[in-house]
Amino acid sequence: MRNYSAVGLIFANMYDESFRDGTAVRSMGSLPFGGRYRLIDFPLSAMVNAGITKVGVITKSNYQSLMDHIGSGKAWDLSRKNEGLYFLPPRSSDDAMYQGRIGSLMDVVPFLNHSKEDLVVLSDCHMVTSMDFDAMIKSHVESGADVTIACRHGVVPKLPDIPVLTMDASCHVTDLLLGRIADQKAYYGTGVYVMRKDWLLRILTEAAARNLYHFERDILQRRREELKIRGYVVPSLVMPIYSTESYFNANLALLEDEVRSQLFPKNRPVYTKLKDCDPVQYGLHAEVTNSLVGDGAHIDGKVKNSIIFRGVQIARNVELENCVVMQNVSVGDHCKLVNIIADKNVVIRNGVTLQGSESYPVYIAKNSII
Amino acid sequence: MFRKQECVAMLLAGGQGSRLYALTRKIAKPAVPYGGKYRIIDFPLSNCVNSGIETVGVLTQYQPLELNDYIGSGQPWDLDRMDAGVHVLPPYQRNQGADWYKGTANAIYQNIDFIQRYNPEYVLVLSGDHIYKMDYSDMLAYHKEKGADCTIAVLDVPKEEASRFGILNTNPDGSIYEFDEKPAVPKSTLASMGIYIFTWEKLRKYLIADEEDSTSQNDFGKNVLPTMLNSGERMFAYRFEGYWKDVGTIDSLWEANMDLLDPNVPLDLSDPSWKIYSRNPGMPPQYLSATSQVQNSSITEGCVIHGKVESSVIFAGVTVEEGAEIVQSILMPGAVVRKGAKVQYAILAEDVEVCEGAVVGEAPEEIDDLSRWGVAVVASGIKVGAGGKVLAKGMIEADVKDGEEVSAHA
């Protein structure tokens, strides 16, 4: 038994615009990742693994694929008689009411009012991590802070208004900038916040009264001195997705043993929607090395350093290197693909050669036929 | 009040499967893993759902724990329904005493009340021993068209194999005039597949009569079906065409897995219109390292392969280390094969560990006396020590010490 109770809120659309190739047809939360997952699987599973049994998914637009993926929440054990998963699309079409993180949160005040939990955990979907939420929540409770911001040290990702923190020895935030300054290394926020629910509700009411909507700027930055803001340095791997290149690299990073062991810790599984695919079939001519392969793939060609999602078909005499190939893509005979991201259901007919560069992979949009 | 169901399926899953030896010491035969991510029972259960049958009673008796857990609420097969769905039916105590299921017919007899509450027209009786994809609704349509009281699915088997099966001799209209259990000189090649559709009214009557007959073994094949035939009931053979395999022995289980790797065998598990559902562990995708060499194999989630895998079926969460070699083998969930070990023509049950340099199984071409050759089996949780050797036909149920050479180790 845990000595706290928390409700989770996941922002499925936050930072959609930073990776337009991938989010043109879907939300950030439903972006496919790592051979069988969608980005939302990571925060959702992490919350469930921390014993959170009530999670609201806040969406704004483009959320059909997200709803299809999450369904009743069964795959995360969140299809419950009491509590479980709540889908929270916008309540009104009035855009003014839906600006920024505060706007989204204003929309879910009734959900929060109906929650009996004392704490709220907010998470975005654009930072891939299997961090231990339980450890972060405990650290927040012990510190007595108003709000705890999860952060990592490193080169600050190119995201608009990303919080960049300066902390003292006890992790108290002494300065908070928004947005990166050149390529310097610093502590940056990973889009996860823990706070008391009554505190959040009070802040929301005040912000609404003052017509403020930017959580990071109008609350955290502007009121930094009067609030007790703490940083929590996430001890495990965090991979930010903010561009085609970062998406490509984060996928290929899964080919490293250390990355896989950090992202798929044995005691904190990452859950996802089950597909009932058959096992992967490797043909007589298959030559697959240093690759991650999702179930239901049928491979008879050469695959190297690639991420192959569920249900992908790769014919004989194909050469694939450094590719991210999403669900149900089919690659015909005698194709050669290097540094390619192929979105869902792409069909590449026989004899096609396509090459991107490592720092600028070619993105083939969903349902394209080449 | 239960909604009426036209057809209720009853799945006989209580068998021990004693000819699978080490593989069924702790689990019932229908729970035996098959095909990389399935268990045998997934086939009849998925066939039911795909055929539109929403009520399935699963009769359990032998080692039911793992099977019960596996079936659970029936959700993986979409059989968690309001009042239909899958129901696990173990033997139970009544006010006039308690019985184990004495035979296949008695198992259904003891659950007459379960069937009756759905007030069905027909009952489909299945066993949990076979790998096949079949649309039971076609068979039911045939049963209705013939106005039959009982329809038995049959497979046309090669003449030379017919004497291994229960053979049905039929008239040109498909009606059955004789049962011939493992005949020395078969008159026909139509083998019973152990799949029966009964008109419930009739079956109920015969089950009650069979129970009252103290000389009966309460078995469908031995008692109820012959009695119905002798009483002049309308019994028909329904010809099935397609892949069907009894996986009751080590050799047939191994072959049925190998069949999945043969493109000429008509068993397609990737057909989206007839999915085989299973309870899924939900592990990360499989990783094949830079040193891996994988050909003609079926591998599923959670596996990490650094070695060589050829013509093998690898279940979830298996590790094959660098320099290890897997040939023509079946590795069940969680098995680990350490550096430089070799597994050939073998079945490793769940969580087996084959240590460095050990060899499990023998290739037939390495053996002069082929009568000595057979698939080697290592039971679940067993460790084969470094440099240990398990010979062909080995049936290993205790740890093999480092450097030890064994064929059987009970």
For A100-158, what is each residue's pLDDT tens digit?
Answer: 789 889 989 999 999 999 999 999 999 999 999 999 999 999 999 999 999 999 999 99
Cβ-nearest to A296 among B270, B292, B297: B270
Please, which pLDDT band fits residue A94 given cuts at 50, 70 and 90? Answer: low
Per-residue model confidence (pLDDT) at position B229: 97
- CB under 8 A, 24+ apart: contacts of B344-348: B345/B254, B345/B373, B345/B375, B345/B376, B345/B392, B346/B375, B346/B376, B346/B377, B346/B378, B346/B390, B347/B23, B347/B250, B347/B253, B347/B254, B347/B375, B347/B376, B347/B377, B347/B378, B348/B378
Per-residue model confidence (pLDDT) at position B93: 86
Is the domain defined by A281-364 classed in CATH 3.30.9.10?
no
C-beta separation of B391 from B409 below 8 A? no
Cβ-nearest to B287 among A260, A269, A287: A260
- CB under 8 A, 24+ apart: contacts of A76-81: A76/A44, A76/A45, A76/A48, A76/A271, A77/A48, A77/A271, A78/A44, A78/A48, A78/A53, A80/A53
Instruction: Calculate how close chain B gets to A45, using CA atoms only, in Å.
Output: 12
Nearest C-alpha in A relative to B270: A278
Radius of gyration of chain A (CA): 21
Per-residue model confidence (pLDDT) at position B151: 98
Is the CB of B295 less than 8 angstroms away from the CB of A284? yes
Whether the predicted pLDDT of A2 surpasses 60:
yes
Whether B73 has its CB under 8 Å from any CB of chain A: the answer is no
- Within 8 A of A294 by CB-CB distance, chain B residues are 285, 301
Per-residue model confidence (pLDDT) at position B409: 54
Of the candidates B347, B393, B400, the one whose C-alpha atom is nearest the C-alpha of residue B370 is B393
Per-residue model confidence (pLDDT) at position A93: 60
Per-residue model confidence (pLDDT) at position B288: 98
Q: Kindly list the residues of chain A whose beta carbon comes within 8 Å of any beta carbon in chain B.
A: 34-36, 74-75, 255, 260, 263-264, 269-272, 274, 276-296, 298, 308
Whether the predicted pLDDT of A17 surpasses 80:
yes
Identify the burial level of B48 via C-beta atoms within 10 angstroms of its C-beta, where 0-12 means exposed, 13-18 middle and 19 or more buried.
buried
A6-263: CATH superfamily: Spore Coat Polysaccharide Biosynthesis Protein SpsA; Chain A (3.90.550.10)
Whether B295 has its CB under 8 Å from any CB of chain A: the answer is yes
CA atoms of A80 and B379, how far apart (whole Å)? 38
Cβ-nearest to A272 among B275, B282, B286: B282
Name every residue whose Cβ is closer than 8 Å to that of residue B134 and which is 6 or more positions away in sequence: B47, B51, B153, B195, B240, B242, B244
CA atoms of B405 and B410, how far apart (whole Å)? 14
Is the CB of B288 less than 8 angstroms away from the CB of A289? yes
- Within 8 A of B262 by CB-CB distance, chain A residues are none
CA atoms of B195 and B193, how far apart (whole Å)? 5
Instruction: Calculate how close chain A gets to B38, using CA atoms only, in Å.
Output: 9
Q: Which residues of chain B have pLDDT under 70?
A: 408-410
pLDDT tens-digit readout, B167-199: 999 999 999 999 998 899 999 999 999 999 999
Percent above pLDDT 70 for chain A:
97
Domains A6-263 and A281-364 share a fold: no
pLDDT tens-digit readout, A38-86: 999 999 999 999 999 999 999 988 889 999 999 999 999 999 888 999 9
Is the CB of A274 less than 8 angstroms away from the CB of B297? no
- Within 8 A of B270 by CB-CB distance, chain A residues are 277-278, 281, 296, 298
Whether the predicted pLDDT of A92 surpasses 80:
no
Per-residue model confidence (pLDDT) at position B95: 81
Per-residue model confidence (pLDDT) at position B83: 85
Per-residue model confidence (pLDDT) at position A95: 56
pLDDT tens-digit readout, A322-348: 999 999 999 999 999 999 999 999 999
Give residue limits of the domains in chain A. Answer: 6-263, 281-364
φ, ψ for residue A268 (rounded to 5)? -130, 80
Per-residue model confidence (pLDDT) at position A183: 77
Tokens of A93: 């079409």
Whether the predicted pLDDT of A182 surpasses 80:
no
Residue A208 parent element (H or E): helix A197-209
Per-residue model confidence (pLDDT) at position A1: 61
Q: Note the pTM of the prediction, 2 decimals.
A: 0.93
Whether B1 has its CB under 8 Å from any CB of chain A: the answer is no
Cβ-nearest to B270 among A272, A278, A291: A278
Residue B140 parent element (H or E): helix B136-145
- Within 8 A of A284 by CB-CB distance, chain B residues are 295-296
Neighbours of A180 (CB within 10 A): 18
3-state secondary structure of B371: helix
- Within 8 A of A264 by CB-CB distance, chain B residues are 283-284
CA atoms of B248 and B326, how far apart (whole Å)? 24
Whether the predicted pLDDT of A250 surpasses 90:
yes
3-state secondary structure of A301: coil
Is the CB of A276 less than 8 angstroms away from the CB of B282? no
pLDDT mean over A270-283: 95
- Within 8 A of B298 by CB-CB distance, chain A residues are 278-282
